[in-house]
């Protein structure tokens, strides 16, 4: 057997490619603390993921400009999870191999659950900036996981209190939700809280009509809208999310449902529906936010983030995803300032019970289940004749402490 020159060059190139692979376990260099940001930068969540990245970058710039933490600068390392749990895990393991022990980000629940499951093994902590699932601080609680935002049940319960205060005479409530775990869990909370809060605040017994269950990705809601209109409802709970919610809102507006009722609320779509629908944004529309910047004109941290967002030309309206990675980085900085090193062993006790100032005021990371006790934000959106095509007519900063429920790490929420 002889080896030709071409074969030799091919083999050499192959060896070169192999040797170019990074080597394992590169330790953190002395004057830099690396923070891994794993979020979804492509697909339907790309806009939210980009804002995740921006919020974390603003925080890192601010912290480093002020001299860093204990003489060390923060460095953000960003990875895209491609909406896939295995891609998120590969990214976390890769960064852990480079010495990263503190992670943040997390948009879709599958990826966050996957990352949550491996943080212990990687001796790392994950400070979740947006994942909303009840399970993450209940039945799927892990000691290495912290959440700086409110969670689904807390937000929906606060929303129930809000509408009971705003629409005191709304006696019949309809609901529409996806026939999936997320939809069912939203409806469990609504069915539990809404009648109780109306009774307590307005001393009236409301009627909850039968929930209309839909499929993910549905494009035609006319039948559901017709049924809701025939139910004689005064208010509506929309448990849909993302593009489904936008499609529903557009059709509900066109068919007059949103004008017919006093008001409706959705738990977590931020500006998404209004940006998509512009002047077709329906009336009486309370949208849930991780952080609504307009609710904090008196908060200098919030104002600074808004200014940075606008100065960079990212747009006029920073959303809650910008705010929450900023809050996550602030929490991390708080933990490090308490003297913790970038390891799970030191960061967990430093973060437990930590209270810090954020874009939405004081946030406390509850010791027992690592859940943020913070404000819950809603904004009333409506159509407008301005360059956006929509406007914010009202907003709410609800104290979330009363709706956070008792900490039950390891146990599922129950409403029976």
114 scored as a contact of other proteins (CB under 8 A): yes
- Distance CA(125)–CA(111), nearest Å, equals 15
181 scored as a contact of other proteins (CB under 8 A): yes
Which H, E and C letters describe the chain, residue by residue?
A: CCCCHHHHHHHHHHHHHHHCCCCCCCCCCCCEEEEEEEECCCHHHHHHHHHHHHHHHHHHHHHHHCCCECCEEEEEEEEECCCCHHHHHHHHHHHHHCCCCEEEECCCHHHHHHHHHHCCCCCCEEEECCCCCHHHHCCCCCCCEEECCCCHHHHHHHHHHHHHHHCCCCCEEEEEEECCHHHHHHHHHHHHHHHHHHHHHHCCCCEECCCEEECCCCCCCHHHHHHHHHCCCCEEEECCCHHHHHHHHHHHHHCCHHHHCCEEEECCCCCHHHHHHHHHCCCCEEEEECCCHHHCCCCHHHHHHHHHHHHCCCCCCCCHHHHHHHHHHHHHHHHHHCCCCCCHHHHHHHHCCCEEEECCEEEEECCCCCEEECEEEEEEEEECCCCCCEEEEEEEEEEHHHHCCCCCCCCCCCCC
Residue from the set 72, 84, 171, 196 that interacts with other proteins by CB under 8 A: 84
Per CB under 8 A, which region of 79-87, 268-276, 335-343, 347-355 contacts other proteins? 79-87
The pattern of x and - marking residues 345 through 384 that bind other proteins according to CB under 8 A reads: ----------------------------------------
Residue from the set 51, 104, 135, 247 that interacts with other proteins by CB under 8 A: 135
71 scored as a contact of other proteins (CB under 8 A): no
Residue from the set 16, 24, 297, 313 that interacts with other proteins by CB under 8 A: 24
89 scored as a contact of other proteins (CB under 8 A): yes
Per CB under 8 A, which region of 105-113, 167-175, 276-284, 318-326 contacts other proteins? 105-113
Token pair for 351: 């973060």
Between 281 and 325, name the residue whose CB sits nearer to other proteins. 325
Per CB under 8 A, which region of 15-23, 58-66, 222-230, 368-376 contacts other proteins? 15-23
41 scored as a contact of other proteins (CB under 8 A): yes
138 scored as a contact of other proteins (CB under 8 A): no
Between 18 and 66, name the residue whose CB sits nearer to other proteins. 18
Residue from the set 64, 73, 75, 97 that interacts with other proteins by CB under 8 A: 97
1 scored as a contact of other proteins (CB under 8 A): yes
Per CB under 8 A, which region of 21-29, 275-283, 338-346, 366-374 contacts other proteins? 21-29
By CB under 8 A, the count of residues binding other proteins is: 47
Residue from the set 37, 96, 127, 344 that interacts with other proteins by CB under 8 A: 96
Residue from the set 55, 105, 106, 133 that interacts with other proteins by CB under 8 A: 133
Residue 110, classified by CB atoms within 10 Å of its CB into exposed (0-12), middle (13-18) or buried (19+), is middle
Per CB under 8 A, which region of 13-21, 160-168, 244-252, 320-328 contacts other proteins? 13-21
User: 278: how many CB neighbours lie within 10 A of its CB?
Assistant: 13
**Residue 122 CB, nearest approach to other proteins (Å):** 9
110 scored as a contact of other proteins (CB under 8 A): yes
CA dihedral 19, 25, 26, 32 (to 10 degrees): 150
55 scored as a contact of other proteins (CB under 8 A): no
Place of tokens 């409506």: 382
Place of tokens 């512009």: 278
Per CB under 8 A, which region of 95-103, 254-262, 267-275, 350-358 contacts other proteins? 95-103
171 scored as a contact of other proteins (CB under 8 A): no
102 scored as a contact of other proteins (CB under 8 A): no
Between 142 and 370, name the residue whose CB sits nearer to other proteins. 142
Question: Going by C-beta distance under 8 Å and a sequence separation of 6 or more, which residues neighbour residue 163?
Answer: 170, 194, 235, 263, 265, 286
Residue from the set 32, 180, 218, 226 that interacts with other proteins by CB under 8 A: 180
Q: Binding residues for other proteins, per CB under 8 A? A: 1, 14, 18, 21-26, 41-42, 46, 78-80, 82, 84-87, 89-98, 109-110, 113-114, 116-118, 121, 133, 135, 140, 142, 179-182, 184
């Amino acid at each position: 057997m002889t080896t030709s020159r071409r074969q030799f060059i091919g083999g050499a190139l192959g060896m070169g490619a192999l040797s170019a692979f990074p080597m394992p376990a590169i330790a953190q260099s002395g004057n830099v603390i690396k923070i891994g940001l794993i979020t979804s930068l492509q697909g339907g969540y790309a806009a939210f993921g980009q804002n995740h990245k921006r919020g974390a970058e603003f925080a890192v710039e601010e912290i480093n400009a002020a001299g860093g933490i204990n003489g060390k600068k923060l460095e953000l390392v960003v990875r895209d999870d491609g909406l896939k749990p295995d891609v998120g895990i590969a990214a976390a393991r890769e960064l852990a191999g480079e010495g990263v022990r503190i992670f943040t980000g997390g948009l879709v629940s599958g990826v966050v659950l996957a990352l949550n499951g491996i943080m212990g093994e990687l001796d790392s902590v994950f400070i979740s900036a947006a994942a909303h699932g009840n399970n993450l601080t209940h039945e799927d609680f892990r000691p290495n996981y912290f959440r700086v935002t409110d969670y689904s049940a807390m937000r929906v319960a606060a929303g129930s209190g809000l509408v009971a205060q705003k629409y005191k005479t709304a006696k019949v409530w309809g609901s529409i939700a996806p026939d999936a775990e997320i939809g069912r869990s939203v409806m469990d909370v609504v069915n539990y809280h809404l009648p109780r809060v109306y009774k307590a605040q307005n001393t009236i017994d409301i009627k909850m009509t039968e929930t209309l269950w839909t499929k993910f990705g549905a494009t035609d809601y006319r039948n559901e809208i017709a049924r809701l209109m025939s139910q004689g409802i005064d208010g509506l709970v929309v448990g849909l999310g993302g593009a489904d919610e936008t499609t529903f809102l557009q059709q509900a507006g066109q068919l007059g449902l949103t004008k017919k009722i006093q008001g409706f609320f959705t738990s977590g779509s931020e500006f998404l529906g209004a940006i998509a629908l512009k002047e077709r944004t329906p009336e009486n529309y309370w949208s849930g936010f991780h952080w609504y910047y307009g609710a904090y004109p008196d908060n200098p941290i919030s104002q600074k983030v808004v200014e940075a967002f606008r100065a960079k030309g990212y747009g006029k309206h920073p959303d809650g995803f910008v705010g929450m990675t900023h809050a996550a980085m602030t929490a991390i900085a708080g933990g490090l300032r308490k003297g913790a090193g970038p390891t799970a062993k030191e960061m967990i006790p430093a973060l437990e019970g930590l209270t810090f100032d954020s874009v939405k005021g004081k946030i406390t990371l509850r010791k027992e289940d690592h859940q943020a006790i913070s404000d819950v934000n809603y904004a009333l959106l409506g159509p407008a004749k301005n360059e956006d095509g929509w406007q914010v007519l009202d907003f709410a900063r609800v104290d979330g402490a009363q709706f956070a429920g008792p900490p039950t790490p390891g146990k599922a929420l129950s409403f029976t």
